[in-house]
Chain A
Amino acid sequence: MSLDDAESHPFTQTARFGELLRLAVRNAGLSIVTLTLYRFWARTSMRRRIWARTNLMGDPMEYEGTGWELFRGFLISLPTFFLPAIFVIYLAPLAFEPAIAGLMLLVFYACAIPLINAARYWMRRYQLSRTRWRGIRLGLDGSAWAFAWASTGWSLLEFITFGWYGPAARMRRAQMMWENTRFGDQPFSFGKNNSDLADGLYGKYALGWIVGPIVFFLLCVAGFAAIGFASVSGALGEVTPGAPSPLFIGLGVAVFAIALLLSLLLWLPYNAAAMNRTAELLELDGARFKLKVKSLPLLGVTLASALVFIFSIGLLAPLSGAIYMRFVLNRLEMIGQPRFAEIAQNINPRTSSGEGLADAFDLDFGIGLV
């Protein structure tokens, strides 16, 4: 039986917006009165809600992490991360010459790049180890540091190529993550028979990479022309040094908003294609995955998430994450089935605490996306 003939099993996300909103508002309230200490339990409850409402073949996912585990991770990060950070950020500028203190800060931020990548890996490892389906636990093997250094290297390549290496880097990161991911004792494979992981992505990437800067340049020219015209025609009023006119500020904001929207529009086709490609390359014991994300709906959900985040001044960030996750899960399906009878329980030990560094770096906007 070919893959085209195989039965499709859609993932379904049944969480209603109202129940997510109620939970997010409750969590935000409790986070405020506890000076955000409740955030670990808030994050856990939102994940539990989303996982529990995500079904495949009639069986829901299950999230069994606890707020205490996240809190323990946070406590561990205090001496291991916050103490050095406090020293470099607060005390070094007082204790050392500006050049030395600046160098220490530079080294700190340079170290932060691989550390953020490692934290992302640890966060995913923790989340997967707390996720079950049909009682079988998922997991993530491999070394977080190997991922961190590889990812940093890919970032460097992106930097050197002015971003052109972006699609390849994105796919390689996904490959490294997914090839170490297990459902029970069964590892996923990623791009097994594909030599070009980023196949089909570069055309869409070029739209943002080439057209984006041109449009941005034209927009800036138009903005300056408008300001120049307004200035000549006297619309800016009397110019006072240090006090820009409201019209000037308004034009600046308009140019920024249009540039942001255009940038979103130009990059959407690539982002949608990259998400779909990631699912396409994924395989679990013969079962394939398919994601059907299209650009315009992706624009809608991105804007909706952003608006929720902005208008709640970040307090409802978990709701933004949940909206996005629901959007993706409702477009994901599994084609065919793995041999479920052959997939045994994951016997790897679970980590006892999680995400301390991810919390420090604010990596997950409240829920985390595996």
Chain B
Amino acid sequence: MARYSDGQTALSYQIAIAAAADGVLIATPHGNAHWGWGDIERVDDGGGVILKCKPDTGERLALEEAERAALEAHAPELFSAKGVRRESARLTLGLVATAASLAALFFLGVPLAAQPLSHLIPQRYASHLGEIAWGQVNAMSAECPAYDEAGWEPLDAMFAKLRSFAKNAGASELYVVDASFPNAFTLPDNSIVLTDEMIGLAENPDEIAGVIAHELGHVEAGHVMQNVIRQLGLGMFVDIVFGGAGAGQTIAAINVLSLRYTRGDEEEADRIALRIMDESGLDPGAVARLFRRLAQYEHDAHATLPEFLSSHPDSARRAENAARFARPGRAQALTAADWNAVQALCGSDGSKGDPKVPHVIAPMEKAPWQTPPTKE
């Protein structure tokens, strides 16, 4: 006997059924019914067989083993694995294709769109991001213990000269901070930040000029905002596709200091830096030595690569490239006296900092000394 529910009340009836060539004959309490094979569907999930008939009125027919065998002889497909399968292979393939398309859209489309989009972002947004970034800079750096005006002036003058050969860099300013690691980075408001350890690591002023020129390259190409757009795009992608409010927030949290440029960005900044150095009358080859030394520094100290070295596959190749543009015999960016003063700026003493012994870092507001002198 099969069990039958009529879909009108919650009663269950023991009834007789019979398989026929064109369907199932059911002796319901309300009279005989006929379900055609083409209208019958399984509603179970591979356990005991339960059938319904299209259109679904709530009628259900639960089969015992004997009835199942009788019906299976007439409609084997209904009782195969296919009979209870809900999702087709086409659906799965479609979802894989959709996922791949979405990934391509975000991982290829967003980086491609980042450059044109970065030009559309109003300056006040970039300035606002700059403020956020400055908060992060101030949290990880300290006031220079021995800020020296005599060191600042030649450095700022060198920066102004380099900046004059960079495009879109009119609003860019240079800042020096006291930090426990050598680094240089560009903030969204186009501020360029040098750490005192970075100055300490350089052996001559042209190397520092090369670092600054590289950062000006990022400014000229608008890499920072492009990077922010890429990070935001990734965060939104994670949030939307994976579902979950704020799931991607961590990824997209605008930790501007930890944004890593793409290899293409770095190579472009390098090219621009070499041009700026050349047009400024400095020797572009000077930076090659610094690249080699920074790579060695990373190797010795097991430190994270400074920003302007990050994403580069091969510092040796980078150094080699810079060396090709060498213009030996050109005057150095600063006189020996000025270079000594710059090295003394912010307590830099020309010695390589030990990254394993961090400085004592005190939280601070943006210090007055970080603001360069007003130009007349």
Residues of A participating in the B interface, judged by any CB pair closer than 8 Å: 14, 30, 33-39, 41, 44-45, 48-49, 51-53, 57-60, 62, 64, 66-67, 74, 78, 81-82, 85-86, 89-90, 93-98, 112, 132-137, 183-184, 241-242, 338, 340-345, 359-362
Contact = CB atoms under 8 A, between A and B. Distances in A.
Given A52-B44, A242-B358, A81 B95 contact: no
B102 interface: yes
A209 B132 CA distance: 42
Contact of A81 (B8, B92, B245): B245
A58 B232 CA distance: 54
A89 B249 contact: yes
B60 interface: yes
28 contacts: A14-B47, A34-B98, A35-B102, A36-B242, A37-B95, A37-B241, A38-B95, A41-B87, A44-B86, A45-B86, A49-B45, A52-B45, A52-B47, A60-B62, A62-B44, A62-B60, A67-B91, A85-B245, A86-B236, A89-B246, A93-B254, A132-B60, A135-B52, A135-B60, A136-B5, A344-B9, A345-B9, A362-B243
A33 B96 contact: yes
Nearest to B60: A135
Contacts of A49: 45
Contacts of A41: 86-87, 91, 95
B263 interface: no
Contacts of A57: 12
Nearest to B48: A60
B367 interface: no
Contacts of A97: 128
Interface string B95-133: 110110011000000000000000000000100110110
Nearest to A86: B236
B301 interface: no
Contacts of B236: 86, 90
Given A67-B87, A137-B58, A33 B12 contact: no
B288 to A, nearest CB: 34
B47 A345 contact: no
B11 interface: yes
Interface in B26-83: 43-48, 50, 52, 58-60, 62
A246 B244 CA distance: 35
Contacts of A242: 358
A268 B296 CA distance: 58
In order of increasing CB-CB distance, the 3 nearest A-B pairs are A52-B45, A135-B58, A35-B99
Contacts of A361: 244-245
B268 to A, nearest CB: 24
B245 A134 contact: no
A34 B11 CA distance: 43
B358 A241 contact: yes
Contacts of B62: 59-60
A35 B254 CA distance: 24
B235 interface: yes
Interface string B208-250: 0000000000000000000000001001100111111110010
B357 to A, nearest CB: 9
B10 interface: yes
A340 B7 CA distance: 12
Interface of B: 3, 5-12, 43-48, 50, 52, 58-60, 62, 86-87, 91-92, 95-96, 98-99, 102-103, 125, 128-129, 131-132, 232, 235-236, 239-246, 249, 252, 254, 358
Given A34-B92, A34-B95, A95-B125, A86 B58 contact: no
A331 B243 CA distance: 34
Contact of A90 (B9, B131, B235): B235
B10 A184 contact: yes
Given A41-B86, A41-B91, A135-B5, 7 more contacts: A38-B92, A89-B249, A134-B10, A340-B9, A341-B9, A341-B11, A343-B10
B99 A135 contact: no
Contacts of B125: 94-95
Given A33-B96, A38-B92, A45-B86, A134 B12 contact: yes
Nearest to B52: A135
B86 A134 contact: no
Which of A49, A134, A338 has the most CB atoms of chain B within a 10 A radius of its CB? A134
B132 A93 contact: yes
Contacts of B86: 41, 44-45, 48, 66-67
A59 B125 CA distance: 63
B56 to A, nearest CB: 8
Contacts of B45: 48-49, 51-53
Contacts of A66: 86
A86 B239 contact: yes
B87 A342 contact: no
Contacts of A183: 10
Contacts of A359: 243
A341 to B, nearest CB: 5
B262 to A, nearest CB: 21
Contact of B128 (A44, A94, A112, A136): A94
Contacts of A241: 358
A78 B235 CA distance: 15
Contacts of B8: 344-345
A12 to B, nearest CB: 12
B252 A90 contact: yes
Nearest to B237: A35
Contacts of B232: 90
Which of B95, B103, B249, B254 has the most CB atoms of chain A within a 10 A radius of its CB? B95
A44 B86 CA distance: 10
Contact of A134 (B5, B44, B95, B358): B5
A41 B93 CA distance: 13
A362 B244 contact: yes
Given A60-B50, A86-B236, A345-B8, A39 B60 contact: no
Contacts of A30: 92, 95
A157 to B, nearest CB: 26
Contacts of B46: 52
B82 to A, nearest CB: 15
A338 B99 contact: no
Given A30-B92, A37-B98, A340-B10, A94 B48 contact: no
Contacts of B10: 133-134, 136, 183-184, 338, 340-341, 343
Nearest to B45: A52
A35 B241 contact: yes
Which of B44, B103, B241, B246 has the most CB atoms of chain A within a 10 A radius of its CB? B246
B225 to A, nearest CB: 10
B178 to A, nearest CB: 17
A136 B95 contact: no
A98 B128 CA distance: 9
